[in-house]
A = this chain, B = another copy of it.
Amino acid sequence: MVEQQSGRWQTPAEVRAAARSGRLTGQTSGLAPGFAQANLVFLPQALAADFLLFCQRNPKPCPLLDVTSPGDPIPRRVAPTADLRTDAPRYRVWREGELVAEPTDLLDLWRDDLVGFVIGCSFTFESALLRAGVPVRHIELGCNVPMFRTNVPCEPAGIFQGPLVVSMRPMTPADAIRAVQVTSRYPAVHGAPVHLGFPEQIGIADLQRPDYGEPVPLRPGELPVFWACGVTPQSVLMAAKPPLAITHSPGCMFVTDLKDEQLAVG
């Protein structure tokens, strides 16, 4: 979430240095305002090709901002002075689909065959929505966005398959129209909504019982608007149960050197 808090760390390099030194081990919302934050996935090279293909086939939930070479911890396109092993505040280590550790760096776990995937995050378009005067409910409430597994299958690739996960933001009709316009400008961070209006059409039974995040109220006269969500690849990884996968810890994002507006088209 892009809360309007004044972060202690204003630049991407400052946030990453704070994460690297252990001073920052929690959420990154509101830090380095104006810069794109990102989801992280690491996989051994043997699985990385399939996962890359999965992302290519499912660009709305998995918009790739950068992919490292095997063993190279530096995301050379999005933050050439960063180190992906240390520069996110907290990581999650998955073995056979089970969460086994939540370290603050990957120095002990690093392997020469690990490939890092830097995946766009909704913070960028939420910041654009706020600038456009479109309120975002979960930001107003200071909670995490509600997320739902849908009945919409992703395009499979190798061992990777599973349903699309979406985030939901309640909006008035006029704000929903404006939100389509605003978020369409950001295809590299999930882009336009994938659905609005009828949760049951995409297999969501109860908006008050999200699969991830926290519920937010849908007020009378509002439409639920759904975006493809960066939790999709984590969900797919957990289902595929690879021997090893590493992700960032929820909300503890990697801050890139890309300005949000560098990700805008039009």
Contacts and interface: CB of A to CB of B under 8 A. Distances in A.
Contacts of A223: 196-198
A243 to B, nearest CB: 38
A197 B197 contact: yes
A176 interface: yes
Given A201-B221, A266-B266, A195 B173 contact: yes
Interface stretch (A12-20, A50-58, A177-185, A209-217): A177-185
Nearest to A202: B173
B176 A196 contact: yes
In terms of DSSP, what is the predominant structure of the interface of chain A?
A: mixed
A184 B197 CA distance: 20
Interface in A229-266: 266
Interface string A162-190: 00000000000110110011001000000
Contacts of A192: 177, 181
B180 A198 contact: no
Contact of A198 (B193, B201, B221, B266): B221
15 contacts: A173-B196, A173-B198, A173-B201, A174-B194, A176-B197, A177-B180, A177-B194, A177-B195, A181-B181, A184-B184, A196-B223, A197-B197, A198-B221, A198-B223, A266-B266
Interface of A: 173-174, 176-177, 180-181, 184, 192-198, 201, 221, 223, 266
Given A173-B195, A174-B195, A177-B195, 19 more contacts: A173-B196, A173-B197, A173-B198, A173-B201, A176-B196, A177-B180, A177-B192, A177-B193, A177-B194, A177-B196, A180-B180, A180-B181, A180-B184, A181-B181, A184-B184, A196-B197, A197-B197, A198-B221, A266-B266
